[in-house]
Copies of this chain bind each other. A is one copy, B any other.
Amino acid sequence: MPEAQLALARPIIHHRTPQFTDLFLETRNNLQKILQTQNDVVILASSGTGAMEAAVSNLLSTDEQALAVVTGKFGERWLEICKAHKITCTALHKSAGEACSPEEICQALENHSETRVLLIQACETSTATSHDLELIAQSVHQKFPAVLIVVDAISALLTQPLKADDWGLDIVISGSQKSLGLPPGLAFMSISPSALERIKNNEASSYYFNLSIEVDKQRKGQTAYTPAISLIDALNETTQAILRQDLQKVLAEVELMAHCTREALLALNFRLLSSSPSSAVTAAFPPEGVSAKELIKKLDSKFGVMIAGGQSELKGKIIRIAHLGHLDLIDVFAVISSIELCLLMMGTKTEVGLGLKTALLEAAKTTNLSE
């Protein structure tokens, strides 16, 4: 977004000034609206992983237990963070592409009755798999009212509904570089009163990530340590621009992009990885005989179209197409067209144009475009 890019290039204002405080409080307020919450929002100068560590190291002590839903690489990260802080964390593993149901989570909480915090991804980016957080939060709160729910929504923000207050999500984490389309370097998180109470009564095992201090400072428009000023300036521009739109419509657009992409890929004999596909990103196995690696390389070298591959054990096996950031339906048509042409060049026998036609027909079905 040009406004955000220009904000990044602006001369830096000093952070111990009323001018910065105004900017900060405005940005914080915008984030509250986007996260649909009245809760405190804390902005950190770090990547999203820093905010994940902040949540874990501030909510839990070494003698306390957590349960992590692990459906891919970012789920694994909860375990690694808990390990670094010597916190006991039980893993509820699912195969790549599978989401965890509310029943499975409640069963695990039943089995591990000492659990104080549930750690989960709204969207597991590595497998393009989305969790139904509304249902999960409902079940967990009903049966285990003392368990706090911490959600990594780094890639999920603005790609699936996320109602921190309505659903009772205690901590919701995201960052600057996904749907907000900004350079990386900022993470932010909402913190419910119950989570804050736990944080205040716990001794944080991080120093740079001390949420108790940050909450107090940030309410007054200051930060504990030097903030990433230019990124906050740009975040203010971007969040303002988003809030000028209807959030429901923003969501519907990305959902449509994901839907059209999935249908097009299926028509081209790809197989979806996820049984609970996210709208942030689509992951799929290429048709029989097509190398994912070669396809990704060709898309970049021939058309300048950048899509991702698999991570960890999915490396070389799948393609991943993002739908977040500054993308729209035209980009879906562009990526599907390029894939069709690559498949043709790679000698597959798919009917030419079938993917694109499918995407167009799916798009035409929605009321979004007829308004």
Contacts and interface: CB of A to CB of B under 8 A. Distances in A.
Contacts of A175: 226
Which size bracket describes the interface of A in this complex?
35 or more
A225 interface: yes
Contacts of A208: 46-47, 49-50, 53, 209
Find the residue from A6, A81, A205 having the highest chain B CB count within 10 A: A205
A337 interface: no
Nearest to A5: B9
A225 B225 CA distance: 20
Contacts of A38: none
A8 interface: yes
Nearest to A9: B9
A116 B128 CA distance: 46
Contacts of A306: 14
A102 interface: no
Given A8-B9, A210-B84, A49 B225 contact: yes
A230 B8 contact: yes
Main secondary structure of the interface of A (DSSP, over half): loop
Interface string A64-79: 0000000000000000
Find the residue from A5, A11, A14 having the highest chain B CB count within 10 A: A5
A329 interface: no
Contact of A226 (B48, B206, B308): B48
A47 B226 contact: yes
A88 to B, nearest CB: 16
Contact of A207 (B8, B15, B49, B207): B49
A228 interface: yes
Interface of A: 5-6, 8-12, 14-16, 45-50, 53, 80-81, 84-85, 175, 177, 183-186, 203-210, 225-231, 306, 308
Given A206-B206, A228-B231, 4 more contacts: A16-B308, A47-B227, A53-B208, A184-B229
